[in-house]
Structure 1
Amino acid sequence: MKDRKGMLLVLHSPFYQADGKLLMDDQAGNGLELWAEHFGSMIIAAPLMPEEVASQQRVSFWRDTATLKQPDRFEFVTLPWAYRLSAFLKTYAATRKRLAALIPRCDYLQFAFGGLIGDWAGIAALEAAKQGRAYAVHADRVEHQVVRQVSQQGNLKKRLVGRAMSSLMVPFERQIIQPSAVGLWHGQDCYEVYHPLCRNSYVIHDVHTKPEDSISVEALAAKIQSAPTDPVLKICYAGRIAAMKAPLDWVRAIAVARDAGVNVKAVWFGEGELIQEMKSLIAELNLQEQIELYGLERDRQKLLQRIRESHLMLFTHITPESPRCLIEALTSGTPIVGYHSRYVQELTEHQGGGVFVPVHDWQALGNQIIALDRDRGQ
């Protein structure tokens, strides 16, 4: 077929258009370059984020798609932003037809599904199955569980909607996964839930940290030597200030440590919808001297350096996701301390580097900070 491509990749990570440029998340761009090394030319299809949504989103590092290595390898297809039922129904037929036309143009197909309404990757998978094509599915969190768990922190209406959406997602995910040829599950939590539905499943780690980003042997040795005597326990986290990260639990755990006499300095890199609630709790607990809400650090090397300088990365993830920041912490010589999951257990079960407590138990997490401060050698 004329103009046949190596792979069609349908993502939920969005495009954004500004000043005549087509932009995408910087990490997604890095991933595309890596996929293209093995699959050659690619068609990338993803939703186009509207300006009014983008203006409220200060959590992404946008990259001009024209700056990708060998940009002529990539063909970009923008899809409707349709996360409301009315928009999804209005655009469904035309978008599915468009996806149906892209599928025969590629040798390989991969769909990073993640939702229900507006999930064009899932719709592309249904269309590929209809055409009798083999395809891979890719997920970095158990979406139906994420929706249910996050909704439980809302009011009654949000809880009921979340339960309903979660229940509908389960058969939709099954319909996507069961016909697939390959399942790529980022982290053990995803694998354990989804691999029974797919005959050819793999745990993967979708890592954007390069070898040169890791802490040097010399810097690690110096860090080990100074850790036992440093008068301040330095804590960090990098990610969205969102419900699935439980930032208020993070604050409360630090308060437990502070109240026990730990000289702690903690910094959270990132922004999100719960930032005002987080600021209010910090003020209520009088933690302004202990906690810094840094905001976004757009210089990746500066962010990695701050992680390397920290004694530990404290995290309070309450949903089955696979945050890359924990891998970045480990490659920075910074132990990870937080809520238990199969993902973090798998990351540390062979080489160590982590201590975990039950999900939601911020009191136990604070006590763990105290214990580590008193035993810096650990």
Structure 2
Amino acid sequence: MTPAPDNDTLLLYAPVPLHRGADGGLLIESQAMNGLRLWARSFSRVVVMMPLSPDPAPRGWVPVAEAAGTLDQVRLEPLPMAYRPDQFLRQLAPTRQRIRALIGEARWLSFAIGGLFGDWGAVAGFAAHGMGRPFAVWTDRVESEVVRRSLGDGPWRARLRARLTHRPMARLERAVIGRASLGLFHGRETYDAYAPFASGPSEIVHDIHLAPADHIDPARLSTKLDDARHGPLRLTYVGRADPMKGPLDWIEVLERLAAMGVDFRARWLGDGSERPQMLARIAAAGLQDRVEMPGFVTDRAAILEELRSAHVFQFCHLTPESPRCLIEALASACPIAGYASAYPEDLIAAHGGGVLVPMGEKAALAHEIAVLAGDRERLSRLVANARADGAPFTDEHVFAHRSEVIRHHLGAV
């Protein structure tokens, strides 16, 4: 079915799960709600397919009803959560039929992919291709490679699952991308991995939720530039304490800094499977008075304040992804220091708002941070450079850009 020329409906698949509240109403992750609000600025109508989780909502999910008036153009379409093979096979036929009907309602199509069983974005892509409809595919990390690199982590069942799924996952990714009319890849990391498999045009895009007011203001920047010249070096990280984030590498860098006599204070905001091991390492190294792990923080203002107060955003990411926390740090004038890969290299290419070392080189990273602790003029310059590198990134800009790209390329097909 070809949509009418005046049809300006965008159909999305987003893998962020919906949940049911005690009153039966839907709950959605707060940043996902902001994304829907921004999509609705560019299209007259937005239909969003999202998996519906049977579990209680985690922290950070809010009632959709709270957005009354701001999401009037948006319709949510819950799909079954079916990440087990038996669940997926049972739900595949009816869900694919439903997706095809939703494709028939819309003019513009954009589907997020990632995973294997239960990846309704991939199912939607194959359905659209079979209907002769152009569609965009979006992803923010190289999921199959993330899974492959987890082969040595976790319990044996997780390792076995990773061994059995990472290759078919990679083939599925390439098959969907090869059928898409447009590839939208979040950050240089995913673009470099996936663009070679695209049959149509590809673009580097970003998916962030920083309003212009969330960027550090000039007065606070001036204070931070002065503050960076004295006192203990303040290090931070904001994100999940999962193996792919390199949390134990992060701790080892701090252990090395302590052994080098660097005066520092460090904080990791976030929860995850590696948090108990991190706490044990901190205690074993006698760093409890210098390293804090507050756990998961839901207060957005508190997270931004953390980044604005820190001198360095230390990261040890081990997998090919495009984490938004690096952009949030730069927008807060917090220089990044961590493992090099295409994504952070691209982020600081213009102004050099950080220092990068080869992947896994913990000693080199500790050395670079120690140099910054001893050269406060250089650190102050990096603070200013980080702010310049982060300046272009606002949620309004990146969502408007992605909408323009979809209209331009899919409208020409």
TM-score above 0.5: yes
Which string of whole-angstrom CA distances, capped at 9 and with x for unpartnered residues, describes residues 326-349 of structure 1?
101101010001111100000001
Partner of 1:66: 65
Q: How far did 1:29 drift?
A: 1.3
**41, 48, 68: which one pairs with 1:44?**
48
Q: How far did 1:363 drift?
A: 2.2
Measure, in 2, the Cα distance between the counterparts of 1:360 and 1:161: 25
Partner of 1:225: 226
2:192 is paired with a residue whose SS is helix
Q: Which moves more between the two structures, 271-280 or 309-318?
A: 271-280
Measure, in 1, the Cα distance between the counterparts of 2:289 and 2:338: 22
Q: Which moves more between the two structures, 120-129 or 160-169?
A: 160-169
Partner of 1:282: 282
Partner of 1:209: 210
**30, 34, 39: which one pairs with 1:35?**
39
Read off the aligned partner of 1:339 and give its amino acid letter. Answer: Y
Measure, in 2, the Cα distance between the counterparts of 1:97 and 1:71: 26
Decide whether aligned partners of structure 1 residues 70 and 219 sit closer, same or farther in structure 2, where only a CA change above 3 A counts: closer
Which string of whole-angstrom CA distances, capped at 9 and with x for unpartnered residues, describes residues 187-219 of structure 1?
001111111122210001112111111111121
- Residue pairs, 1:184-195, within 5 angstroms: 184-195=184-195
Does the 8 A contact of 1:185 with 1:202 survive in 2? yes
2:308 is paired with a residue whose SS is helix
Measure, in 1, the Cα distance between the counterparts of 2:360 and 2:228: 28
Read off the aligned partner of 1:130 and give its amino acid letter. Answer: G
Q: How far did 1:376 drift?
A: 1.8
Which string of whole-angstrom CA distances, capped at 9 and with x for unpartnered residues, describes residues 132-173 of structure 1?
101001010011111111233346664453233111112211
Measure, in 2, the Cα distance between the counterparts of 1:342 and 1:152: 24
Partner of 1:356: 356
Decide whether aligned partners of structure 1 residues 92 and 250 sit closer, same or farther in structure 2, where only a CA change above 3 A counts: same
Q: Which moves more between the two structures, 260-269 or 341-350?
A: 260-269
Q: Does 1:18 align with 2:17?
A: no
Aligned-residue RMSD, C-alpha: 1.8
Partner of 2:382: none
Q: How far did 1:63 drift?
A: 2.3
2:138 is paired with a residue whose SS is strand
Partner of 1:164: 164
Does the 8 A contact of 1:5 with 1:105 survive in 2? no
- Residue pairs, 1:142-157, within 5 angstroms: 142-154=142-154
Partner of 2:267: 267
2:278 is paired with a residue whose SS is helix
When the two structures are superposed, what TM-score results if normalisation uses the length of structure 2? 0.86
Read off the aligned partner of 2:266 and give its amino acid letter. Answer: A
Does the 8 A contact of 1:148 with 1:159 survive in 2? no
Does the 8 A contact of 1:233 with 1:265 survive in 2? yes
Q: How far did 1:66 drift?
A: 2.5
Does the 8 A contact of 1:152 with 1:162 survive in 2? no
Over the matched positions of the two proteins, sequence identity in percent amounts to: 39
- Residue pairs, 1:31-110, within 5 angstroms: 31-51=35-55, 54=57, 57=58, 61-68=60-67, 70-110=70-110
Q: How far did 1:255 drift?
A: 1.1
Q: Does 1:9 align with 2:9?
A: no
Measure, in 2, the Cα distance between the counterparts of 1:276 and 1:328: 26
Partner of 1:300: 300
1:51 is paired with a residue whose SS is coil
Read off the aligned partner of 2:169 and give its amino acid letter. Answer: M
1:278 is paired with a residue whose SS is helix
Read off the aligned partner of 1:78 and give its amino acid letter. Answer: P
When the two structures are superposed, what TM-score results if normalisation uses the length of structure 1? 0.94
Q: How far did 1:174 drift?
A: 1.5
Q: How far did 1:45 drift?
A: 0.7
- Unaligned 5+ runs, structure 2: 379-413
Measure, in 2, the Cα distance between the counterparts of 1:93 and 1:118: 12
- Unaligned 5+ runs, structure 1: none
Read off the aligned partner of 1:27 and give its amino acid letter. Answer: Q
Does the 8 A contact of 1:5 with 1:43 survive in 2? no
Measure, in 2, the Cα distance between the counterparts of 1:344 and 1:202: 17
Partner of 2:319: 319
1:150 is paired with a residue whose SS is coil
Q: How many residues align?
A: 372
Measure, in 2, the Cα distance between the counterparts of 1:177 and 1:360: 30
1:165 is paired with a residue whose SS is helix
Partner of 1:127: 127
Measure, in 2, the Cα distance between the counterparts of 1:274 and 1:156: 17
Read off the aligned partner of 1:247 and give its amino acid letter. Answer: P
Measure, in 1, the Cα distance between the counterparts of 2:155 and 2:26: 38
